[in-house]
């Protein structure tokens, strides 16, 4: 029997993998993909709660999260495409014009 703790643990592990990817990698595209991974791990948690209580609200919010992820991917990739015009490699530690 799969319990709620299984879903929560899986969501937490995938979230931490995504967070480590965001913090460690230099490539901006892989950072965006890691953010997608983190959003999806939250979906796993919501679906686990939805199953536990037999309530649809978790799945409704998972759909909203997918919407936000699509918007984020579109805008983020547009920023990366416009950033790629004046530099060759998309490394986040080289984009430091506004850094203190």
Binding to another protein in span 12-31, by CB under 8 A: 12-14, 16-21, 23-27, 29-30
Task: Indicate whether 1 belongs to the interface with another protein (CB under 8 A).
Answer: yes
Determine the Cα–Cα distance for residues 33 and 17; give it in Å rounded to an integer.
Answer: 12
Nearest CA among 40, 41, 21, 44 for reference residue 92: 21
CB of residue 39 vs another protein: minimum separation in angstroms?
10
Q: Contact at 8 Å (CB) between 34 and 22?
A: yes
The mark string for 44-73 relative to another protein (x by CB under 8 A, - otherwise) is x--xx-xxxxxxxx-xx-xxx-xxxxxxxx
Single out the residue of 35, 92, 97, 98 in contact with another protein (rule: CB under 8 A).
92
Task: Indicate whether 80 belongs to the interface with another protein (CB under 8 A).
Answer: yes
CA angle 12, 56, 15 (to 5 degrees): 15
């Amino acid at each position: 029997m799969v319990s709620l703790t299984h879903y929560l643990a899986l969501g937490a592990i995938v979230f931490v993998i995504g967070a480590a990817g965001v913090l460690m990698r230099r490539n901006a595209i892989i950072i965006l993909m890691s953010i997608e991974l983190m959003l999806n791990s939250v979906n796993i948690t919501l679906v686990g709660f939805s199953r536990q209580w037999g309530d649809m609200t978790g799945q409704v919010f998972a759909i909203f999260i997918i919407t936000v992820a699509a918007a984020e991917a579109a805008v983020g990739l547009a920023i990366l495409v416009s950033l790629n015009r004046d530099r060759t490699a998309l490394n986040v530690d080289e984009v430091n014009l506004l850094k203190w």
